[in-house]
Amino acid sequence: MPRGRRFRNIEFQHTSVGSTSDRSQQPDEPHTQSGSQSEHAPPADRPDTDDVDVLDGLGRVRRTRGPTRARDVWSLPEDEKIVVHCNELGQPIKNAASILSTFLGSVARKGQLCPLNYTKWNEMLPSYKVELLRVVETKFVLPANSHDWVLKSVNRKWKEYKAKLKADWKHEGMTEEEVARVCPPDVISHQWRELVHYWFSERAQVVYIFSIP
């Protein structure tokens, strides 16, 4: 995971960190929870390449051409961060907003930050959410009132990612063993097995039935 210095003037406004020493290696079996809140997010697939503000290690802000993909953000020098401007609701605006949204999509696909073997976002350990905020703040300068928006955005992208995995890898007529046998690239194997087990569980079938309009 890329590492960088946290911008010293930004403080977390969320729940306290729980222990991750054991749970991050052996996450809980899937849990259930109620639906999540909706959020207003900028287009995430391909951000534009308009200029953005970048903060360097000396505290200077310069206007420069923004990254075009999430991997470009991960590759930023450790002493550089993209400055994100937000409205009064904490929602990112201007050019950096779509860059941030794309980056959050890549965060949601990292099992070390957003484990797949939790079935609902609000059952996930608070320590995971604190850590993903820390990672985001190694690449972006964010106002404190944007943290809730960031977490809601990652939540939505995480659910979309799991739905895509199910659509791509679980096909009609396949058994649990057949699906679990082939772990997709970049997915942590034990998280995949637990996720597949949940898909085939009676609880998941009940949730599916009640989700049908």
9 occurs within a structural domain = no
46 occurs within a structural domain = no
Query: Would you say residue 55 has pLDDT above 80?
Result: yes
Q: What is the mean pLDDT of residues 70-92?
A: 95
6 occurs within a structural domain = no
Query: Would you say residue 1 has pLDDT above 90?
Result: no
- Rounded to two decimals, what is the model's pTM? 0.73
Query: Would you say residue 185 has pLDDT above 90?
Result: yes
1 occurs within a structural domain = no
21 occurs within a structural domain = no
Q: What is the pLDDT of residue 29?
A: 44
8 occurs within a structural domain = no
27-54 pLDDT, tens digit each: 444 444 444 444 444 444 444 447 999 9
Q: What is the mean pLDDT of residues 56-75?
A: 91
Domain around 163: 51-211
The total of structural domains in the chain comes to 1
Q: What is the pLDDT of residue 66?
A: 81
Average pLDDT of the chain? 81
14 occurs within a structural domain = no
26 occurs within a structural domain = no
Query: Would you say residue 130 has pLDDT above 50?
Result: yes
Task: At 205, give phi and psi (nearest 5°).
Answer: -65, -40
